[in-house]
Structure 1
């Protein structure tokens, strides 16, 4: 009697890449909707543009590499990259900035290294750094959040600004844009103003920027969903936010009028988005349990250092990319001991 045999793997994994990526997209929805509520429909237009460009570049690169297109597109990794990139952009960013950033993320940072699973750097952050360094003016055009200055742009006005660069009602960019809370805090501190004086500005809310703190809370909810579904592990988010809070808390205790509080740093900018959605990239992040703690702590420390003493008010992309470079070394020195392997016996020196 002949028996049919099958090659490995003999056990089907509980999750495939497509399922994990879809859950990441589900988790991004609450924070994205909150961002749209506070900053307008331009956020959704950016997401749709970035996702469309990402899928298009992914298909072109697969065809150029003679790889199957439909199965690879079905893993949704390009969609996640485009979505994360879009969330880092101001809501009225010109369409060509999105095209350049996404193209660099997919073509250079992903496929020129071999595709998904081979890229040493987070593609979305690589694309963002490219446009941040190349088009700094377009990356600071943040409109004020709802409740601070209600401009109320319609979808037609939003698309005209993004695709044609035309602002409605004879407005100018100086009239409709404002600094982010991190940028405003950094600028005012450089002019020797105290934290208590700076926080009197209506741009600030209870403990962070008006609107920004609620957006961070909704991204936190999505991050907790990823933890509950075991899409990500707890080490990196806890290490990122914990090290950022510890660094901010230490300097805040020393001089609360010169350094912002830990709550301000945790709930401002993209700190929570970084901790749960960006730093936890399974390809470019550390993979060992101890390594994840070191990797996440490094991101949190770099984030605070660059925000406080660097040239950029928010430093998520730079912190993540720097730790991406360190991830292989961290994994090399933090490999767990194999099950059943005893440590080497102590060396005895009996002398001559």
Structure 2
């Protein structure tokens, strides 16, 4: 009699790749809504354009690799990569900038390594860093948030559309009305007290900047929803946010001109919550054990603060994620859990000599 040999795991959970991607996309809706409310239609237009580019790029490479196109596109992972990159880009990024970033993320960041499950780096952050290094002017053109001076210039959908796709000479020059983000304003300040800085800048309202508080709270809500659905564990987000909180408390600098911003400012401004719950939780490029995820997240939180306070960029989520992606294999090596029946965890390959 022939026995059927089955290897572990023997139990199957309800979450398929497609289901997980749907939950992630659903969780981004509150953040997308807040970004659209405070920065206009550009974010939504960028998102649709990013998804079209991602699907086209993925289909092209799959055809070249002679892989079933519909099977791989249906899992939704390419769409998630496109959405995360779109949410990280300035709302009125020109169409060609988005084309370059998303194509690079899909072709180089994903398919070059063999597709989903084989990429050592977060594809969306690879595309973002490429654009930030190559086109720094376009990547820093953020409009004032809703209610601040200048924002109403591109309030309508048509103005936003023609600003991204300048057809027939229409559209508005975004660089003429763009302004620095709260993180950039605080980083560049060296003469005003924090109170004076907040009074002088219309975008610096509340304790994290006008609009940015609500955007981060929306991504926090989406992230907590994903933890509730057990899409990922709490370890990496808590590690990142705790490390960022500790660093911003230690090097706060008070309310004088040399301040790097309060702990609450760093937690609820920039891409903090988007990074903590949607970027660093990528199961492929992050650490695998719970202890490893805590270390992975903490490393990202430390690097984010170092870049924000003393680096050359206002935010450092993308750079920190890629740097810790490189460290993830080493973290996994030293944080492997103990296998049942063994006194110590196995580290690396066994020595047969």
With normalisation by structure 2, the TM-score equals 0.91
Alignment of 1:301 onto 2:297: no
Contact 2:187 2:260 in 1 (8 A): no
Q: What is the deviation of 1:153?
A: 2.5
Aligned to 2:350: none
Does structure 1 conserve the Cα–Cα contact (< 8 Å) formed by 2:186 and 2:260?
no
**Contact kept? 1:205, 1:213, Cα under 8 Å:** no
- Measured in 2, the distance between the counterparts of 1:20 and 1:282 equals 11
- Point out 4+ residue stretches in structure 1 off by more than 6 angstroms: none
Aligned to 1:349: none
Q: Identify the residue that residue 314 of structure 1 maps to in structure 2.
A: 315
Aligned residues: CA RMSD: 1.8
Give the Cα separation in 1 of the matches to 2:174 and 2:118.
41
Match of 2:198? 199
Alignment partner, residue 229 of structure 1:
229
Cα distance in 2 for partners of 1:197, 1:167 equals 39
The superposition leaves residues 257-305 of structure 1 with CA deviations (integer Å, 9 ceiling, x where unpaired) of 2231100001110011000000000000011111101100000000000
Paired position in structure 1 for 2:160: 158
State the match for 1:280 in structure 2: 281
Structure 1, unpaired ranges of 5+: 345-352
Q: Indicate the residue corresponding to 2:349 in structure 1.
A: none
Q: Is the 8 A contact 1:110 1:118 kept in 2?
A: yes
Residue aligned with 1:71, SS: helix
Structure 2: tracts of 5 or more residues without a match: 346-353
Q: Is it true that 1:83 corresponds to 2:83 in the alignment? A: yes
**Aligned-pair CA distance for 1:173:** 3.6
For residues 116-127 of structure 1, the aligned pairs below 5 Å read 116-127=116-127
Q: Give the structure-1-normalised TM-score.
A: 0.92
Paired residues of 2:235 and 2:293 also in contact (CA < 8 A):
yes
CA distance in 1, matches of 2:343, 2:143: 60
1-structure distance, mates of 2:306, 2:76: 34
Distance 1:183 1:36 in 2: 21
Once the two structures are superposed, residues 16-49 of structure 1 have per-residue CA deviations (whole angstroms, 9 ceiling, x without a partner) of 1110011000000010011001100111000000
Map of 1:72 onto structure 2 = 72
CA distance in 2, matches of 1:331, 1:172: 48
Q: Which of 1 and 2 has greater Rg?
A: 1
